[in-house]
Amino acid sequence: MGKKTKIGLAAVAVGAAAWAGSKALVNPQIRPGKEVLGYGHPIVLAHRGGAAIAPENTMAAFSKSAELGVHGFEIDIRLTKDEEILVFHDEYLDRTTDGAGRVAEMTLNDLQEFDLGYHFLDQSGKHSYRGKGEKIVLLRELLEAFPEMYINIDMKDSPETYEGSLVPSKLWRLIDSLGVHDRVVVTSFFDEQIDRFNLYAQNRVAIGAGQNEVKKAYTAYNSQFGHLYNPRADVFQIPVRSSMFRLDSPRFMAFLSNLNIPVHYWTIDTAEEMNALIEAGAQGIVTDRPDIAISVISELENQKQ
């Protein structure tokens, strides 16, 4: 046996011993349960209120989705110049309103002048909400208007900006003052924002996974050392694909489920894909078409009865 072969075999033996030792000494870090996530069945979250059935992030969309029977909303928030928390996705107004400009550079009064239904096209191709009075919605207004609804809140402002530096503390104070700790999830693409928020919340509010946390979990799942993964999120809200990697594997969902972490997928708008994900183990569907999703969930429930 050659020297290189001996060294290779020794390295394999050492790796195997390390794996066996870690398995014997380390138990998986199961995430403590959160009330908002204790639904026990697949749920429907209307993406930006249901962006395909009414203008996104408007009371029209939220009300219409609530009437359909969704379990909650998936929303984004941004901070205004006068430090009000808005339900709004884009950094700039241009795509959804009749105005233009950067949200963080405008006051609430400035923003309330704009028509949020201006660019929305219904399924017949008409501007059916233009001029109908759909205005900017404050996060406080949304939380108060739908007191029974699960709301997933995504902090969009970058932590490197002034507004981004303020959002975590502002959001915590709002959640705490309204006493809605057990019906919201707070997340962000920026892991740093989630960490900042949790410095205030101290695990009293369910938190989602940022981009780095998703990468860490997926790497652990694909390795022989998944048992060493220590999750820092209560729920994963992810796309079916990230770069070259598929994130919708039943085994990946099971890996997270064994750690008490449900997985929600966005943005899913066809019945075929919804059915496939739920069958694979998804616990949440984030969709622009809550009308389709509610029909899918209802049909699945009827099949079980």
CATH number (domain holding residue 220):
3.20.20.190
Residue 201 in any domain: the answer is yes
Residue 270 in any domain: the answer is yes
Backbone angles phi, psi at 212, to 5 degrees: -70, -35
Please tell me whether residue 15 adopts helix, strand or coil conformation.
helix
Backbone angles phi, psi at 236, to 5 degrees: -105, 125
Domain limits for position 57: 36-91+137-304
Residue 196 in any domain: the answer is yes
Residue 11 in any domain: the answer is no
* pLDDT score of 251: 97
Residue 112 in any domain: the answer is no
Both tokens of 164, joined, read: 């981004």
Per-residue pLDDT of the chain (305 residues; tens, 9 = 90+): 555 554 444 444 434 444 444 444 457 789 999 999 999 899 999 999 999 999 999 999 999 999 999 999 999 999 999 999 999 999 999 999 999 999 999 999 999 999 999 999 999 999 999 999 999 999 999 999 999 999 999 999 999 999 999 999 999 999 999 999 999 999 999 999 999 999 999 999 999 999 999 999 999 999 988 889 999 999 999 999 988 789 999 999 999 999 999 999 999 999 999 999 999 999 999 999 999 999 999 998 888 87
Both tokens of 94, joined, read: 């241009």
Q: Which residues contact 178 (CB under 8 A, 6 or more apart)?
A: 140, 143, 144
Residue 41 in any domain: the answer is yes
Q: How far apart are CA 142 and CA 145, in angstroms?
A: 5
Q: How far apart are CA 167 and CA 189, in angstroms?
A: 14
Residues with catalytic roles = 47, 89
Residue 130 in any domain: the answer is no
Number of domains in the chain: 1
Residue 6 in any domain: the answer is no
